[in-house]
Amino acid sequence: MELEFLGTNAGTPSLQRNVTSMALRMFEERRTFWLFDCGEGTQHQILRSSLKLSKLEHIWITHLHGDHIFGLPGLMSSRSNQGGTTPLTVFGPPGLKSFLETSLNISQSRMEYEWTVVEHEGGMIYEDDEVKVESLKLEHRIDSYGYRVVEKDKAGS
Ligand SMILES: [Zn+2]
């Protein structure tokens, strides 16, 4: 797995630095990537990278401040326009579902794939054959969660 920083600025985008987002390239065999936070302009940063939105598998949101989520509806809608057909799951604190449903519904965004929001308040929140994800509450002005991605031991290695 490999981390790629798409934006590291807090508050507002600047010409030099984009607001928060980070991509995690998953193992080679999996051919997908995950996104942590999605500030405004994240899809432009992805266009400048070798990442393909259609390969985006999960999005993990730390908290609901605008500089971490204002890029989400646009990115999700572009994923559909760019041939993304596989399901997408977005994880984050309570309120995320209402934000996304409202933005995507009133903009009449047509989604060619199935998307799900999993709202959580920390704990063990995700597990599949290869990885598990644990979330821990962080100190911030609003409810905020850090994520720990743990790769499971592979049989025979
Ligand atoms: Zn914040």
Cα-to-centroid distance, 55 and ligand 1 (Å): 27
Mean pLDDT by 10 residues, the chain (157 residues): 87 83 89 96 94 96 96 97 96 98 96 97 96 94 95 77
User: How far away, in angstroms, is 100 Cα from ligand 1 center?
Assistant: 18
How high is the pLDDT of residue 30? 87
The answer to whether 93 and 145 are in contact (CB under 8 A) is yes
pLDDT recorded at residue 15: 81
Confidence at residue 157, expressed as pLDDT on a 0 to 100 scale: 54
Distance between CA atoms of residues 56 and 44, nearest Å: 15
Nearest to 59 by CA among 141, 153, 74: 74
| Distance in Å, CA 93 to ligand 1 centroid | 13
| Active site residue ranges | 67
State the CB neighbour count (10 A cutoff) for residue 32: 17
- Alpha carbon distance 16, 33 (integer Å): 24
SS3 97: helix
Q: What is the pLDDT of residue 72?
A: 98
Q: 2-124: which CATH topology?
A: Metallo-beta-lactamase; Chain A (3.60.15)
C-alpha span between 137 and 145 (Å, rounded): 4
